[in-house]
Structure formats: C-alpha cells, structure tokens
Structure 1
Amino acid sequence: MKRYPAKISLLFLTLAFFISCDAVKRVKNDELLLTENTIFLNGEKIKESRIYNQVYQEPNAKLLGSPIKLHFYNLAKKNPDSVFQNWLQKKPNRIKRLENIYSQKQVNNIEESYVGLNNWIKKTGEAPVIIEEELTKKSKNRLQAWYFNNGWFDAEIDYEIKPQENKRGEIDYFVTSYEPYIVDSINQRIGSVVIDSIYNAYSASSLITSGVQYKTLDFNAERDRLSRLFRNNGVYYFDQEYISFEADTVGTKHKVNATVIINNRQVTQGDTTARVPFKIHTISKVNVFTDYTFNNRYKPVTDSANYKGYNIYSFDELEYKPRAITDAIFIKPGEIFKDTDRTRTYNRMSSLRVFKYPNIEYSLDPTDTTNTDLIANIFLSPQPKYSLGFDFDISQSNIQDFGVGFGGSLLIRNVFKGAENFEISARGSVGSSSDAARGSSQDQFFNISEIGADIKLIFPRIFMPFNTEKFIPKYMSPFTTLSLGISTQNNIGLDKRNLNGILNYKWNPSKILSHKLDLLNIQYVRNLNTDNYFNVYQNSYNNLNEIVQSGDVVTNPSYINENGRLIIPTGAENFISDVIQNDPNTSGVSTDQRQLVNNISERKNRLTENNLIFGSNFTYVSNNKENLYDDDFSRFRFKIETAGNFLAAFSSLTGAKKDDQGRYDVLGVNYSQYVKTEIDYIKHWDWGNKNIFAIRAFSGIAIPYGNANSIPFIRSFFAGGPNDNRAWQAYDLGPGSTGGKNEFNEANLKLAFNAEYRYNLFGALNSAFFIDVGNIWNVLDIVEDPAATFTSLSDLKDIAIGSGAGLRYDFNFFVLRFDVGLKTYDPSRALGARWFKDYNLSHAVYNVGINYPF
C-alpha cells in the first residue's frame, strides 16, 4: 500500500513529460514557443488585463495549466494528403484490396475525409505561438501608444526575450512611465456663431475636465458628444470631421492646454470650395408614403390625408388611420432637425410589426430661399396583412422523460386600421412520463398531454381612459396587450384546466430600461382529478401507511385494502379526517404522527384546491446588454405582485358572507390574497479569449394574508434543476432541511446565488465550472414544520451548496448545455455531516438544457 503514492506520482510525472514534449511538437529548433508575457511598470510587475491586451502575441490558451487547444492542434498531421498516400502505397496490394472492397471513388472520398478531418483539427485547435521579434517590436510600440494616450507622454518602453529550456521562451516588457500630464486650460476656436452658441449652452456637460489626467479616450468621447449635440439641435450638415483638438505641452510643466477647434462647413460648388457658417435647419414638411414599394415608385398618389401638419399619401386606398401613423413618427413639422427623432421613428415603426424597416430621407425645401427648411420624406412598406406561423419542439424535464410540442398562430396586422395586431394561437404537446400516476395509461408511451389556445390583441399605445403622454411619452414605445387563454392538462395525475385573462402595458423609458405592468392578471385553475392525489404524491401516501402499520394505531378496517394499505382515495382521506377530528374509529396515534398527518392534510388541501388569482404586477428591468454577443453586461429585475385586494374590498363592501373557515369565495372558489416580490441580478465579466465569469443573485418572497393562509402552487417557488441549483433535480431541494421528502417541493421564500466560470475548449465547444447556492423555506404561512420554515437568520445554515462542471456546444442560434452537479453541502443531512458526503458521480445530477442558465 505504501508504494501506491510513489507509483501515482511517477504516472503523473510521466504524463506531464509527454504533454510537455507534445506542446513543442510543431516548434522548429530555431524557434521559441511563447509561454509567458510579463510587464514591469517602474520595476513592479503588473497584472492589469487592459495593458496586457496591448501585446500582439499571447501564450497559447491554457486549462488547468495545460495548453489543451495546442495539444489538439498537434494531433493533426502536417501534410495529411502525403501521409495518406504514403500509407496507401506502403503495401503493394493495399490499393487493389481497397478497390475490391470499395470503388475508386470511395477510396478518393476516404482520402478527402482524412484530409478534411486534419484540417478541422487544425482549425479547431490553436497553432503554437512562436516568438517573433517583429511582433514584439510592434507590441512595444503599442504599449508606448497606450501609455501616451493615457497621459504618460514621456513613457519609455523596452523588452527582453528570454529563452528557456525545451524550445520555450518568455518576453519581459519594461515600462518607465515618468510623470503623467494633467489637463489644465480648455479653450475654444469655433468658426460658426450658431455652433458657438450651442457649445456654450451645454459646456457644463463637457467630458474634458481641468485637473484630471489626460486621456485620448476622453477627447474622442467629447467629439462624439459634440457631434450628437449639434445634430440634435438643428445642425443638419454637421459631421465629426469638423471637430479637432490641439494639446499644447511646451513649457507647461506636465500640463496640457487643450483647444477645441470646430471649423465651418465645407461647401463645394463646381471647382470652388469654400467654408460657410453652419445654420439651424427646421422641418417644414413631413410626407409619409404608407404603401411604398419599388413597383409603386413611379405611380401617382390616389389617396391622401392631412393630420396635425403631416401629409399622408397612399398609392392605393389609405389603409391606416392618420393618428396610427403619426403616433409612430417623432419628426414634427415646424420643429428643428434632430437625429434622435429619426432614430426613434425607425425604432417605433419597426416595433409595430406592421411595416418593414422604414426609409427616411431629408431634402432642402425648394420654396425656402434661406436654405434652412427641410422636407422629411418617410417611405413605409407594409408587411403582409396575414402571417401564419408554426413551431415544433422536443423537450425533456424531471417530470417528462420525453415530450413533443407543436403549435401554430395566425397574425392579422392593422386589424382596426390603427396599427393594432390580432393574434390567434394554439398549442399542444404529448409526452411520456415514468412518474405517471397509478390508474393512468401507464401502458401507453405518451401518457401526459396538454392542449391550449390564446387570443391576443395588441395596441401601439397605452389604452387608458385618460391621456398618458405626459408620463409615458410615445418615444418609450408603449404597447397595450389584451389576452385570453385556456389550456387543459392531462399531466402526471391531477390534471388541470387553466383560464387566464391579462391586461398588460409595457414601455421602455430608455435603451436599457423596460417596464411592464399587468393591470389585471386573472387566472383560474381547476383541478380535474383530485381523487388521484395519493397516486401522484406517493411519499405522502407511504407516510400514512407507515403510521397505520406502526403497530399501535388502530383504524377502521374498511379503510384498508387486501394488501394492508389505505384505499385510494377514500381510505386515506377518512383516516386523515379521523386523526384530525380525534374520531374514535382511529386510535393510538402519537403526537408526532398526528403532526405528520396534519402536515400531509394541509399540503393535500393546498395542492388540490381550485385557485382564483385576481391580481396585478409590475416588473422593472435594467439591462445594459448591447447585443446577443455582448459578454460584459449586467441585468437587474424587480417584480412586485399583489392579488385578491380588489375582490376583498368588493366582498367587504357588498356584505358577502364568509365560509366556515372565515374566507370569502367567488363562484365557489376561495380567491387568493397575497403580496409577492422578486429581485434578480445578473452580472457577466468578459475576461478576454472567451473567458467569462458570470454571477446571479435571486431572492423572492410571497406572503399570504386576508383571504388566504398559503400561496397557490403556481405562484410558489421551487429549487433545483438545470437553471437553478444543479446538484438537485427540479423540485427536489428543500424546503429548509426537510430533504425534499415530497415529490414536488415548493415554498414561499427563496434565496439563490450562482457563480460560473466559462471558457472555450476548442472551436464551438465550451466548458464551465460552477457553484450554486440556495434553498426555499416556508414563512408566514400555514406550514408549521420547523425544518421547513424560516424563523431567523440561523436558518441560513440550511442553504444548500452544489458545484460541478459542464460542456456547452454553441450552434450560434442556440447553445446545447450539459452540466454535472454534485452535492457539496447538503442541508438534509445532520449538522456536522453535510459537507462532501455525496460528492461523487454515483450521486451526481446530470442536467441537459438549452442556452445558458443565466
């Protein structure tokens, strides 16, 4: 046994040696593989990635200290076509034997496949980074430029290439920065009176500030700011090329005296070029062509309208109400030219889904002798009146082993001639579940199903009885949506019917902010097969049978079947009723057993009761992600929801009577009353070279009150699953330290924290390490189990921790994800025995998902 560590060490040393040799397989004897760049600033080693990014050559990417991509690249043959031919010719009869088995064409295809495989390996891997003197000099110059652009005008840069053993080398860069230059005075030299007036009016917003260290980026940002400023204040012909800067540092003792230079407009007439002052331009006319196409360009206009100064034209009969068109146009007759008005018009017209991307052109008004009036021509090309859509998907979850979904939709545009859209959609799915309850069609492969339909009407404005323009102006792209839906589920046993109606408003105050208000969100959920409860929730059923069979308990024999177990549903329900009501038919039940029966009864009542949710909610989202490929962003979401307040007030005012539990009902259903909040924060850091660090923090709580003492199942929280704590299956974690004793565990308080380091392996294959932390608890509701409830901060000891790794393949339009989660800290275990007790592959949870979890 004592020899094993030595053997293991020898094995690792041997493996490390071969990997080390393989890394320089493609490196020539007179070349050096770059292993490290080091930058010293004034004698001190620095680690700032933004400075290292200035270096042209970077070492091959490493994973756990090994250049995996380089090793993969080295698997490819240098001349695969020659290698294949040498192999083919090596034995005299090999060609003839292959041609007897395959055709000559197939043998050629084998060669092409071999060559193609080698090319793919090279493309997917990473070629060795060889130290090149010329690129090192360019890196030196680039570092010089970086320090210069950040105020160190006198910085000196040098480098040293340091050969190492086994055809490897390092490069050290030495930076002596000296004293930085500070911006001192800021002067202007502006040729146009109009430009000078606008500049001075907004000088307080200047991005060049006295007393700060010089940065070229500040001057570039100021150029962008001024260009936007002038073009949004009527200066139609202004362009960035008219702005320049002078920086005087002669004899200033490390001070920069800056001058902002804005030249007059350059105008060419014939062979003569002259500078003329800029002017403010005003929109004199706005012409809108509502059905412009390439074929219509020479046709005469046959229909027109004038609305609030806008000229609206159509080559055929006008199909739109004038207001619907002008509400989406921010360019207004009589106002000065603004670039933002054009951009907002583009965005708003596109968001209507009625027109294709519009074309907006400006021209000088020929009737204006001052050449300051502009005519805006807006060309709109309608989308087809009707659009059909179909979708199909295959899915898998912890409940559904295999599922097939399908659906279709019909979109009718401009349904009331006010740019409204009406959509009818239907969906359905069938699936196979090994969890299907007893009594269901288990002998059938597809034993669960759902079918539903929705109708939706979308208005391009806030649909209110009063004007909302003052606090939700049209540049925020407001929409109102009315929707109705119905669905029927034949799921794993209880089956449900769901009716919902929503009145929704949404608007975007800025590029990064979005608001959504469900003024009315009404949902009715009816359980269709409640008698099947104990077939579905087998854990609860087994607990009841353990009590019945404990030896001390005596109950009515009519409750028991021939196998000595409670009859479903009557036997189990009667036994629960006897225990709760202390009926003499059942005796010998201990205090702990009675509490367990009470817990089972409470959960059964809560999960089988019909739900009526009459609520409202508001969602605030701040997301600075610029596009799909932006890997450095943050997202914050806050949601608050209330339900039941309107119905409670109505019931009280009308003198409605309460039932024997002290609750109001509507149409025989006790409506829900609660307040619920959710806070979700996501942050991604791009560390370069496809290395991304991402975190997420989530907290949510739903508190019942008034007409309710619990939260409906569909509004509660659960933990676990591929997008949450991946060391547990969905619904398997919590509440608290209970250990997920029920089939579907949920609660009304949730905390979740996730961290993930993502990196590229090669090509489109990525990987990640992750840590997931969180749990759910019951708080301020009907649940009394101390292991499941959150009563103080000491209950945070029951937070679960999972960790693991995963693979992700990027198909560009979606990411296929496979994660392996391991239970690192399991709160279901006794204190002192929670860390790393099931930290092995036999207890791992394997998750398959689409796209990243956050």
Structure 2
Amino acid sequence: MKKTSTKITAFIVIAILISACNAVKRVPADKLLLTKNEISVNNKAIKEEIVFNQLYQKPNTTLLGYRLRLNLYNLANLNPDSTYQAKFKNNPEKYKRLSKWLSEKQVNRLGQSFWYHGIHDFLIKTGEPPVIVDKEKSNKSLLRLKYYYFNNGFFNVKAAYQIDTINIQKAKLKYDITLGNAFFLDTIKTSITTPVLDSLYQRNKFNTFLKSGNQYKTDDFENERNRITTNFRNNGAYYFQPNYVTFNIDTIKKVNQANITLMINNYSYQEKDSTKTEPFKLYKISDVNIYTDYSPNNSGLNINDSVSYKNFNLYSQKKLKYKPKAITDAIFIYKGGMYADFRTVLTTRYLNNLKIFNYPSIQYEVDKRDSTAQSLIAKVYLTPRKKYSFGTTLDVTHSNIQDFGIGLSVSETIRNVFNGAETLELAARGNIGSSKDLANPKNNFFNVSEYGVDLKLNIPRILMPFNTDKIIPKSMIPSTLITVGFAKQRNIGLDKENFTGGLSYNWTPKINHTARFDLLNTQFVRNLNPRNYFNVYSSSYSALNKISKAYNTNPSYYDDAVNRDLLIEQGTRGFTNDVLSGSGVFLKPLKPADYESVKSIEERRLRLTENDFILATSFTFSKTTKKDLKDNDFYLFKTKIESAGTILSAFANVTNQKKNANGNYDIFNLEYSEYVKTEFDYIKHWDLSKENIIAFRSFFGIAIPFGNSNYIPFSRSYFSGGSNDNRAWQPYSLGPGSSGGLDDFNEANMKIALSGEYRFKIAGSLKGAIFADAGNIWNVLDNVKDEKSVFKNFSSLKDIAVGSGFGLRYDLSFFVIRFDLGFKTYNPGKEMNERWFKEYNFSKAVLNFGINYPF
C-alpha cells in the first residue's frame, strides 16, 4: 500500500510538472508566444541592455533558463468560481449532502477558501501571463529604436522587423537596423537677447556640454539646458526656466555635420489679454521674513511678537519660543544677497535636519517698495512639531545568547528644550528572554533579562568654547550629540553593568559625505558575576577539566569521585593555582604543553572577567554615490580611526602618577585600556538590470594595544560569523586563525572580511541570491601566544575561511526578510588535507535569518 501511494504521488507530481511546462498552454490557437528578441545593427548582433530596453515587448522572465513565472501562471485556474459552481451543477446530490453536513452558507464560502480560490489568486499574482507577439507593439518598438539612434546622432536610420516562427505557437522577433553615417557638431554659436544673461553665460561657457567635433547626442543638449538654467537661477535670474533655452540645428549643405545656434529670448509674461516681453532681471533679496509658528490650516497671520536679528525678521503669532540665532543659523538666504536656488535648497535641508519643524515652505515675492522691481522678499514659513512626543517599540529577538526574547522600549522626545532648537530624547528599554545557558540551572522559560536607560541631547551646532565656523561652516549642517546611558544584565554571560557617555560632532562636508568626530567616547563595564565564568564559557571549562583528570589529586576540587569533574569555582580556581604556582601534587609530571594550555585558559578568564574602562577619541568618514533607496549601482566607503587611553596616559605622565604592581596606570583603582584602532569598509553594487545585481563588500580592521594594555577589551574586539558576515559559521564560532573556534565566544583584534553575492528576482516580491563569503580574525601584537591564532605574515592568509551558499529574500517594501543557507567551503580549523569541501553538506550547513540585506 505504501509503495502504491508513493507511485500515485509521484505520478501526480509528474503530471503537474508536465502540465506546467506546457509554455503555450494559455496561448490562443492563432497567436504566437514571444520567446526571444534579436537586434542587429548594420548586420551585426548586439547585446546592449539600453537598446533592448527600447522594446515594448520582452519575453517572459526566466530563472536559469526556465520560465518559472509563466509556468506558475499556467498552473492557475483563471476562473475558479465557475469551476467550483460547475462541480455541483453536474452533481446536485453532492451539493445537498455537503450542505447537510456543513450548511449552504459554508459550502458557498468554501469556494472562496485558499484551496479552491486563494491558491489560484496567488499563482496568478505571482506568475506571469504569456507574452504574445503583437504586431502593433512591434511597430512601436521599431519606432522607439529609430528615435534612440536618432537621439545619438544617426539621422537617417532605416529599420525593419520580421517574425521568425521557431516552434509550434512560438516565435522570436528579429529587428534589423541600418544606421547610416553619424552627425557631428560643427560650429556652435549663441544668441542671447538679455545682456546680463549673455554675460553670465560667457563667464561659465567652459563647462558647456556642446563642443565642436563631438557626435550629436540629445542628452548633451538637455544637460546643457539644465546647466544654463542652474547657472542663471543661482545668480539672480528668478523667473528663468529651462524652456527659454532652445537650439537651432542646421544640417543644410552639410555632410554629416550640424551647425548649432543656442538661443535664449527675453522674458515673456502675460499682462491682461496681451503677452509682453522684456529683458530678464537679476534679483536681490531685500528682506528675509521668518514666520516661526505658521499653521497651514490658518491662512491668516496674526503677529503678536517679533524681533530683528542680523538682518533677519522673526515673527510669531504667540510669544517667540526660539533664540533668534538658533533659527537664523539655518537660513542661507541673506538680505542684500542675490537670489539663488541652491540657497533655498540648503536652507530647506538645514531646517529639516533640526527635526523641530514640519517640512518648511519658502516663498518669494517681488518687493513693491523697489521702483526698479529687482528685489525679492523671502518668506520662510515654519510649522513647529509638537514639543513632546511619546513612542514605544516592541521587538521579538533571537541571538546567539537568547533563544527567544521580547524587548520593549519607551521614549519621550522634547523639542526645543532650551529654546535653541535642541532635541532631548529620554528612553528606557527592557528585555526578557529564554536561554539554555548553563548559568540558568532552574530552567525557567524567561530566565534572562536586561534593562537600561539612555539620554540623548542633539544640539544643531558645534558646541565648543571657540568659534568653529571657519573650520566647519554652517553649510555643512553641523551638530553636537551628547549621550549618557546605563544598562544592566541578569543571567546573560557574567551579568554586566554598562555605563556609557559620549560627546560627538557630526557634519556633512559635501552631499553624500558624512563626518563624525567623537571627542569623548566613554564606556565602563562592570562584571557582576565573574565567578560564573566557567558556566558561561563551557569550552574553557571542558579544556581545563580534561587536563585536570590527567593530573589532579586533590579530592576537594570535585564532588564526584567517579567522574572527577572540577567544581565551579572552588575546583577550577584551585587546580589552576596548583598548576601555575607549581605547588600542586599531580598524578604524573606536568607536560609543558598542558601547562601552557592552563596558562592560556587563565589569561583568557582574567581578561574576560576584568572590569573595563575605555576613554576613546575617534574620527569616522563615509562617502557614497547612492542617490536613493532604489539606486542599485553605487559604492560606499567608510573609514574610522580610534584612539583609547592616550589622554589618560598623557595626564598620568604630566602629573607623575605612580604605576601599579603590573607596571600600569590606574584610574579609580582600575587599569584603563589603551589602544589604537582603524577600520576600512568598502561596498560596491553593480546593477545588471532586470533586478539582477552583483554586490561586493570588503572590510579590514585592526586594533593594536600599547602602553597601559597588552590586549583589546572584549567589547572593542572583532568576531567572525553570523548573518551579516561569513554565513557558513555561527557568530563568534570562526577563528582566530586556524585554531578551530575552540572557545564559546571567539574574538581577536584583527579582521579581514570579503563577501560577494549575485541577487536576482524569482517571482514577484520573492528574490534569490547566490553568495560567497571569505575572511577570519587573528590576534596580532597582543598577549596571545597560540601560533594558530596569531597572524604572523602573509602566509597566515591561508587561514582565510570560505563559505558559500544561497538565500531567499522576501521584499515587503519597507524591509526585507532574509534567509541564507551557508556551507563551509574551506575550513581553516581542519587539517590541510581536510579543509576543502569536507563539510559541504546540509547536515553541517548554517541557516541564517536576517532583516534587510547584509550589505
């Protein structure tokens, strides 16, 4: 019976696949399915995507050559309602029986269920109807191809197409283009009626897109029109528009050449029933009026308070709530200055960045007081946001620490808190979760928790005791951020208290450039439960316990004479002291390798259980060419340099402070960290069109301890693995070097990471990816001596791990849900002859879940 049912299932699956693979299933008998487009130019086949984009009809999309979406569509029942009704129309007795068992209403509703209706709606929506060869659309495609080549200088294009039947009800379209000779620009003249505009043009004509000898391109003319408009409107020509720029193209008596005349006529305007013209005027700003509490719902302005400050006029319908400088610093339109579009844009950007107003409105009107009518009054309308706003967020989390967690955060935002456009945010957060950590022997479901409070004060200017406008002008939209935070953990690791504080400055040197200078970045980490170390770091415990069984003779170190497992904390500490002090009595002489292992375990325990104090200064710079969220052809470069402890050491040297027994300086009886750290991050995306994208990322980071430290604090070190890193390894499970990830949380002070993936569309919002990740972490110039973990020279690059795999992503517009399955392709933790493809199977694969793309 089991074999029979298996055969039936296989037969059904095969039948469905055969039915679905009939590509012409939905193609009418007298029509043809378009399977391919071919374009030849001057009898030579071309593949340029921009040319194929001119075609109105394109074949059904494919996935690795298979028309997946077309076949999904072919699986669907296009009229599920009729099919469901016919089912009972042909068998009324069946309808009666089903109605008695359920009810007539439920039977009718059954026809709208997923099985009868919903699944077909899904297939229709996800699938793709067959693309039928359409002669009318083919003629339109031919016309667009002609226009495309005409716009690129080929004025005598000839084009034709033919339908080539290649199979039953299938065809391909062949487009044949004959270009002729291209036309080139010859002489270029100008005819600008308004003298002041002609003068402006002559001063900037070296930037022109139209140059004698260049091949004719319509885009060059459009770019030149926009360049001229931008130039004029940024120099006072308020009424100038692109349509005033026209071109006369003369090809008469020319062989493949064109004479160009750029023409700009006078300003044209309507006065009553007649059209008048006059030369363009260049306008200056006579007044800048700022309305600080404008309401778009109230057209009238009842001004009750006003102030003039540095040639700016501030008006308020109620009592003015802002310090004048806080508002005027955001205004780049000046009294007496020329009208300029870029100043309007810059003012809008700065005002938006304050985050205390809704989208501002800037309007201009001609100043009637000026008899020459060449002055404008700039009016800036500001609509304040609510002074207080309350927010909450609820998150469900999963991490390498928590199997399941629920987080809640509440925040209160206070705007214009000191009347200087400052924004103060107070936030509290809490998290409870479930963990199988050995630190939780009671095994309650919610056995871990964390809570914290944060304060952020954003000031829209550089807060310094001296003026920084010459170094960072206000056009760079500078701001100061002051942060203070506290967090406490229970049953997470060693149960930490984390105190943070910072003073940072942010600015944008250019569009798409950002800079950040952290003058002070302070962190104090206090471990509340260091005795819990071997419960948390079970790999260290296992290694120490294994050694103790070979040597330990002290029965007080364990409570089970059979298994002889070390007690935590009495046994682990006692046995470690016996080994390192040489005072223990052992079953046999201690091997040097085992002594070094115990020493390494103890050094790691001391490092990870010590309280950390970090006082760092850093500078971060980033640059991107990404224009918007839909831009898939861009790069992002980010670099950071950080120095910690140098200020404290300099102060200690100047004040002749004494060092402790370890030869280091203390602050609050705690050795502070001292290191220098630098990072480089580069991301590049290539858009191959049709939602096919190649993405690449490279990262290098190194932190070198010196002076007061010989290691990097855990919170500032690097790890490898995870959904945004090498996806064939779990977080913290890769490296260092070829050590094989023996510890529970493997970290080091140098990291190399490379990732590349090919992203493609599968069906609808479902996307796919094929990826490869490479990288590792190493110890360098610190106190780690294990040769497998240390980066010695370029030969250590052989320990770069390689993971590869595939992923599925579902685009919900506002975020992307991501699943990636990574396979260990090259594992440096294995012996040399066991590294390549030895774990390339599903049992050793790592499934990663993430939100949004990894890079």
Report TM bin, short chain: over 0.9
Q: CA deviation at 1:132?
A: 1.4
- Mapped partners of 1:597, 1:201: distance in 2: 77
1:351 correspondence with 2:353: yes
- Mapped partners of 2:107, 2:634: distance in 1: 52
- Mapped partners of 1:576, 1:204: distance in 2: 78
The letter for the 1-side match of 2:757 is E
Q: Which moved more, 1:814-823 or 1:41-50?
A: 41-50
In the alignment, which residue of structure 1 is the partner of 2:730? 729
- Mapped partners of 1:270, 1:294: distance in 2: 30
In the alignment, which residue of structure 1 is the partner of 2:681? 680
Q: CA deviation at 1:71?
A: 0.9
Does the C-alpha gap of structure 1 residues 20 and 80 become closer, same or farther in structure 2, counting only changes over 3 Å? closer
- Mapped partners of 2:287, 2:406: distance in 1: 55
Does the C-alpha gap of structure 1 residues 21 and 533 become closer, same or farther in structure 2, counting only changes over 3 Å? closer
- Mapped partners of 1:657, 1:141: distance in 2: 86
1:74-85 equivalent positions in 2, closer than 5 A: 74-85=74-85
In the alignment, which residue of structure 1 is the partner of 2:557? 559
SS of corresponding position for 2:232: helix
In the alignment, which residue of structure 1 is the partner of 2:59? 59
Does the C-alpha gap of structure 1 residues 217 and 447 become closer, same or farther in structure 2, counting only changes over 3 Å? same
In the alignment, which residue of structure 1 is the partner of 2:212? 210
In the alignment, which residue of structure 2 is the partner of 1:3? none
SS of corresponding position for 1:780: coil
Q: Which moved more, 1:616-625 or 1:559-568?
A: 559-568
The letter for the 1-side match of 2:267 is R
- Mapped partners of 2:574, 2:181: distance in 1: 87
- Structure 2 length normalisation: TM-score? 0.95
1:167 corresponds, among 166, 169, 172, to 169
In the alignment, which residue of structure 2 is the partner of 1:285? 287
In the alignment, which residue of structure 2 is the partner of 1:155? 157
- Mapped partners of 2:241, 2:153: distance in 1: 27
1:817 correspondence with 2:815: no
Q: CA deviation at 1:629?
A: 2.6
2:321 corresponds, among 310, 319, 336, to 319
Deviations 1:493-551 (A, max 9, x none): 3111111110011111222111111111011111111111111111111111211223x
SS of corresponding position for 1:93: helix
Q: CA deviation at 1:722?
A: 0.8
In the alignment, which residue of structure 1 is the partner of 2:7? none
Q: CA deviation at 1:479?
A: 0.9
Contact 2:19 2:75 in 1 (8 A): no
2:247 corresponds, among 226, 239, 245, to 245
1:172-183 equivalent positions in 2, closer than 5 A: 172-183=174-185
Does the C-alpha gap of structure 1 residues 508 and 749 become closer, same or farther in structure 2, counting only changes over 3 Å? same
Does the C-alpha gap of structure 1 residues 161 and 414 become closer, same or farther in structure 2, counting only changes over 3 Å? same
1:170-319 equivalent positions in 2, closer than 5 A: 170-294=172-296, 296-319=298-321
- Mapped partners of 2:161, 2:297: distance in 1: 65
The letter for the 2-side match of 1:328 is A
In the alignment, which residue of structure 2 is the partner of 1:640? 641
In the alignment, which residue of structure 1 is the partner of 2:123? 121
In the alignment, which residue of structure 2 is the partner of 1:4? none
Q: Which moved more, 1:308-317 or 1:218-227?
A: 218-227
Q: CA deviation at 1:117?
A: 4.2
Q: CA deviation at 1:233?
A: 0.6
Does the C-alpha gap of structure 1 residues 196 and 444 become closer, same or farther in structure 2, counting only changes over 3 Å? same
Q: CA deviation at 1:299?
A: 4.8
Q: Which moved more, 1:101-110 or 1:518-527?
A: 101-110
Does the C-alpha gap of structure 1 residues 715 and 21 become closer, same or farther in structure 2, counting only changes over 3 Å? closer
1:550-629 equivalent positions in 2, closer than 5 A: 550=550, 553-562=551-560, 563-586=563-586, 588-629=589-630
Does the C-alpha gap of structure 1 residues 708 and 165 become closer, same or farther in structure 2, counting only changes over 3 Å? same
SS of corresponding position for 2:27: coil
Does the C-alpha gap of structure 1 residues 258 and 20 become closer, same or farther in structure 2, counting only changes over 3 Å? farther
Q: CA deviation at 1:294?
A: 4.2
In the alignment, which residue of structure 2 is the partner of 1:478? 478
Q: Which moved more, 1:148-157 or 1:798-807?
A: 148-157
Q: CA deviation at 1:36?
A: 1.5
- Mapped partners of 1:500, 1:346: distance in 2: 34
1:107 correspondence with 2:115: no
In the alignment, which residue of structure 2 is the partner of 1:68? 68
SS of corresponding position for 1:729: coil
In the alignment, which residue of structure 2 is the partner of 1:413? 415
Q: CA deviation at 1:817?
A: 1.1
In the alignment, which residue of structure 1 is the partner of 2:389? 387
SS of corresponding position for 1:651: helix
1:434-473 equivalent positions in 2, closer than 5 A: 434=436, 436-438=437-439, 440-473=440-473
Deviations 1:322-376 (A, max 9, x none): 1111111111111010111111121211211111111211111111111111011
Contact 1:208 1:218 in 2 (8 A): yes
Q: Which moved more, 1:733-742 or 1:594-603?
A: 594-603
Q: CA deviation at 1:448?
A: 1.3
1:375 corresponds, among 370, 374, 377, to 377
In the alignment, which residue of structure 2 is the partner of 1:749? 750
In the alignment, which residue of structure 2 is the partner of 1:50? 50
Contact 1:437 1:492 in 2 (8 A): no
SS of corresponding position for 1:575: helix
Contact 1:192 1:263 in 2 (8 A): yes
Does the C-alpha gap of structure 1 residues 781 and 249 become closer, same or farther in structure 2, counting only changes over 3 Å? farther
- Mapped partners of 1:45, 1:583: distance in 2: 85
- Mapped partners of 1:77, 1:417: distance in 2: 65
Q: For structure 1, which runs of at least 5 residues remain unmatched after alignment?
A: 1-9
Q: CA deviation at 1:295?
A: 5.6
- Mapped partners of 2:219, 2:207: distance in 1: 16
The letter for the 2-side match of 1:558 is S
- Mapped partners of 2:258, 2:491: distance in 1: 73
Q: CA deviation at 1:648?
A: 0.8
- Structure 1 length normalisation: TM-score? 0.95
In the alignment, which residue of structure 1 is the partner of 2:5? none
Contact 2:641 2:676 in 1 (8 A): yes
1:690 correspondence with 2:691: yes
- Mapped partners of 1:16, 1:49: distance in 2: 35
The letter for the 2-side match of 1:744 is F
Does the C-alpha gap of structure 1 residues 419 and 52 become closer, same or farther in structure 2, counting only changes over 3 Å? same
- Mapped partners of 2:788, 2:181: distance in 1: 63
1:454-533 equivalent positions in 2, closer than 5 A: 454-533=454-533
Q: CA deviation at 1:830?
A: 1.2
Contact 2:73 2:128 in 1 (8 A): yes
In the alignment, which residue of structure 2 is the partner of 1:31? 31
SS of corresponding position for 1:74: helix
Contact 1:99 1:107 in 2 (8 A): yes
Deviations 1:676-711 (A, max 9, x none): 111111122222222222111111111111111111
CA RMSD of aligned residues (A): 2.0
SS of corresponding position for 1:832: helix
Q: CA deviation at 1:239?
A: 0.5
Does the C-alpha gap of structure 1 residues 336 and 82 become closer, same or farther in structure 2, counting only changes over 3 Å? same
- Mapped partners of 1:527, 1:814: distance in 2: 36
Deviations 1:232-264 (A, max 9, x none): 110000101101122233343323322222121
The letter for the 1-side match of 2:591 is S
- Mapped partners of 1:20, 1:585: distance in 2: 77
Q: CA deviation at 1:16?
A: 12
**Percentage identity across paired residues of the two chains:** 48
1:826-841 equivalent positions in 2, closer than 5 A: 826-841=827-842
Contact 1:613 1:672 in 2 (8 A): yes
- Mapped partners of 2:350, 2:344: distance in 1: 10
In the alignment, which residue of structure 2 is the partner of 1:426? 428
The letter for the 2-side match of 1:369 is S
- Mapped partners of 1:660, 1:671: distance in 2: 14
